[in-house]
Chain A
Amino acid sequence: MTKKVAVVGVGYTDFNSMTPEVSWKEFMYEACQKAYIDAGVDPREDIDSFITCSEDYWEGFSIFDEFVPDQIGAVLRPCCTVCGDGLYGLGNAYMQIKTGKMNIVAVEAHSKISDLLTFGDIGLFSYDPIFDRPVTGSVDRTHFAGIPSYEKNSPKPLVGKTNEKERIHPYFLAGLEMQNFLRKTGTTEEQCAKVVVKNKKNAFNNPNAEYEVNITIEDVMNSEYLFKPIKKLDISLNVDGAIAFVLASEEAVKKLDVEPIWLRGFGWSSETPWISTRSMDANYAMLASRMAYKMTDINNPRKEIDFAEVDDRFSYKELQHLEALGLAESGEAGKMLDSGDLDLNGSLPTNISGGSLGIGNCFEATGLQKALEVVIQLRGHGGKRQIEDVHTGISQSWRGIPSGSGAVAIFGR
């Protein structure tokens, strides 16, 4: 059994709010082809297994995995889809390689969210249909749509009146969580605003980012409340983009002309879906990181981890996640931000890529965006945003609203 698994290739498209010029297939092809060239492998010969990460409802296809082999080089090859974030895909690739059955595995995740016209409604579709959805906008409907039936005289669908209030956007859940986070930790809205300022500024040094801008804490504080205490500028905006990784066993790495970046630890965890019962403290991230630290033999993450790329799809999430990962004490992440610790030259540079606030929300590709930055930094390819003297980096992702699930991956040189 191979002892170690490495990232040997990465490929990615630009991240853009709209990509009308390409279909999702051409887009995935671009990211994968770049990753295969980066690794120096021929997907039709050298790659043993292919994994994509996607959600059918984002794509608008049922059984979306049936539509992926062509553009990732996987026709008539072992191929599967992980219904979730890209970091879960990396973990699955790791496990496949550890079986000894596969030597080289490709992982792809993307967002083509601009194809989806009813984003909020699909978002609500991820809430519990009996207890939560009805409270997001009255659906006191009396109609019956009919069930598939072979009965000769089954009644025709009755379409009744919809007695509908205006519905709430699904992101309101982040408002609930942020409220809880601020009260528990004493973090302020200004500190959350500062995350936005930092990450959007960092994005200037990432040529692939979409939402780089110089703004002030006041700009964020003065932006309108959307889900109090969340304001308009606290929220990452959607982007399209595709990212691909090639992973290889220690033995396969030797045959490739690449500088390996080792996937040293991995973990994942899920909360209960009951909104009333779960912690709202990102316990999923806490437990996922503990699993990854154990695997990596990390006892003091604050000392042993040089930099972090964490899920920041809402501003407070960056601070909440840093605390859950044990990289800051409870209530300390905001103070670290204030003292410059999370900046490029700080003691724990965080979301130097620009994060989701600066790059954009790439949905199932979010985890791979975090992992991609860690790989770029460990390779020393960060250009203007290169962090000095880095050996170990952590990437963390959350499955997004309304989930209480997430994964962590730790990489080292």
Chain B
Amino acid sequence: MMTIKSKTEGYPRYAPGTHVSGRDISNKNVTYSWWEPEVQYSWSLGPAYGRFLQELKKGKIIGRSCKKCERVIVPPRMFCEYCYRSTDEWIYLKDTGKVETFSISYLDPNARRIKEPILIGVISIDGASPMHGFMHYFNDMKPEDLKIGMKVKAVWKSEKERTGSITDIKYFKPMNEGDK
């Protein structure tokens, strides 16, 4: 009977084994079947997201209000998910906000290390209800300077470059005293 030595004896409690490497697959040391679909979608935006992205193209952030729960919702929706009723009015918001949470990310989707870490996080937008905003990049700062609660401001692409996308905002930067 095989005995596995305990961790205290200097071995891991499980056998690590040998992983199949990418090279093993490309050299056909293991068998596989391959398929690559063509996958393309173009989602209709509808009135809420459509208006939101059109306003981004103009360099503005817009939300919707629900009079029943008194929320200002961004990104806007045509119905309130809490009250289950249609939302009421369009409201322009500021392009500044507060960092709710963030992460400093070092890996690409294939789990390879990227050179410059990507700073990503959630921003609550000023003028919307608390915890209403979106996810975006941070830049113009050192990773160690990024803090929860920090005030930030959008850095926009030039009018020519904007296409009506969430990335019409390039990133959020630390808010300086002079920023509005």
Residues of chain A having any CB pair with chain B under 8 Å: 19-26, 29, 33, 36, 42-44, 60, 69-71, 73, 75, 112, 114-118, 121-122, 124-125, 129-130, 133-134, 139, 141, 143-151, 154-155, 158
CB <8 Å contact, A139 and B35: yes
* Interface 9-mer from B8-16, B42-50, B146-154: B42-50
The residue of chain B having its C-beta at the shortest distance from the C-beta of A58 within the complex is B41
Number of B interface residues at 8 Å Cβ cutoff, please give it: 35
Point out the residue from B21, B26, B39 that lies within 8 Å of A122, measured CB to CB. Answer: B39
Known: A25-B46, A70-B79, A115-B43. 10 other contacts (CB 8 A): A22-B44, A29-B78, A69-B81, A73-B84, A112-B44, A116-B41, A139-B34, A143-B34, A149-B111, A154-B21
Which 8 A-B residue pairs are closest in the complex by CB-CB distance? A23-B46, A70-B81, A60-B41, A117-B40, A121-B38, A144-B26, A154-B22, A73-B84
CB <8 Å contact, A118 and B38: yes
C-alpha gap A147/B84 in the complex (Å):
43
C-alpha gap A24/B110 in the complex (Å):
31
CB <8 Å contact, B26 and A130: no
User: In the complex, which residues of chain B have a beta carbon less than 8 angstroms from the beta carbon of A118?
Assistant: 37-40
C-alpha gap A143/B112 in the complex (Å):
20
- CB-CB contacts below 8 Å: B16-65 with A: 19-23, 25-26, 33-49
User: In the complex, which residues of chain A have a beta carbon less than 8 angstroms from the beta carbon of B77?
Assistant: 25, 70
A77 → B minimal CB distance (Å): 11
B75 → A minimal CB distance (Å): 11
Q: Determine whether B83 belongs to the interface, using a CB cutoff of 8 Å to chain A.
A: yes
A301 → B minimal CB distance (Å): 40
C-alpha gap A96/B142 in the complex (Å):
53
User: In the complex, which residues of chain B have a beta carbon less than 8 angstroms from the beta carbon of A130?
Assistant: 33
User: In the complex, which residues of chain B have a beta carbon less than 8 angstroms from the beta carbon of A36?
Assistant: 84
User: In the complex, which residues of chain A have a beta carbon less than 8 angstroms from the beta carbon of B43?
Assistant: 23-24, 60, 115
CB <8 Å contact, B35 and A129: yes
The residue of chain B having its C-beta at the shortest distance from the C-beta of A29 within the complex is B79
Point out the residue from A69, A73, A141, A147 that lies within 8 Å of B22, measured CB to CB. Answer: A147
CB <8 Å contact, B41 and A117: yes
User: In the complex, which residues of chain B have a beta carbon less than 8 angstroms from the beta carbon of A43?
Assistant: 84
User: In the complex, which residues of chain A have a beta carbon less than 8 angstroms from the beta carbon of B82?
Assistant: 44, 75
CB <8 Å contact, A23 and B48: yes
B159 → A minimal CB distance (Å): 26
A385 → B minimal CB distance (Å): 30
B22 → A minimal CB distance (Å): 4
User: In the complex, which residues of chain B have a beta carbon less than 8 angstroms from the beta carbon of A121?
Assistant: 37-39
User: In the complex, which residues of chain B have a beta carbon less than 8 angstroms from the beta carbon of A69?
Assistant: 81
User: In the complex, which residues of chain B have a beta carbon less than 8 angstroms from the beta carbon of A20?
Assistant: 44
Among A19, A23, A73, A130, the one with the most B-chain Cβ atoms within 10 Å of its Cβ is A23
- CB-CB contacts below 8 Å: B107-134 with A: 109-112
Interface string of B72-107 (1 = CB under 8 A from A): 000001110111100000000000000000000000
Point out the residue from B20, B44, B110, B111 that lies within 8 Å of A115, measured CB to CB. Answer: B44
The residue of chain A having its C-beta at the shortest distance from the C-beta of B26 within the complex is A144
C-alpha gap A70/B87 in the complex (Å):
13
User: In the complex, which residues of chain A have a beta carbon less than 8 angstroms from the beta carbon of B19?
Assistant: 151
24 contacts between A and B (CB under 8 A): A21-B46, A22-B46, A22-B47, A23-B44, A23-B46, A23-B48, A25-B77, A26-B48, A26-B79, A29-B79, A44-B83, A71-B79, A115-B41, A115-B44, A125-B35, A134-B35, A139-B35, A147-B20, A147-B22, A148-B111, A151-B19, A151-B21, A154-B23, A155-B22
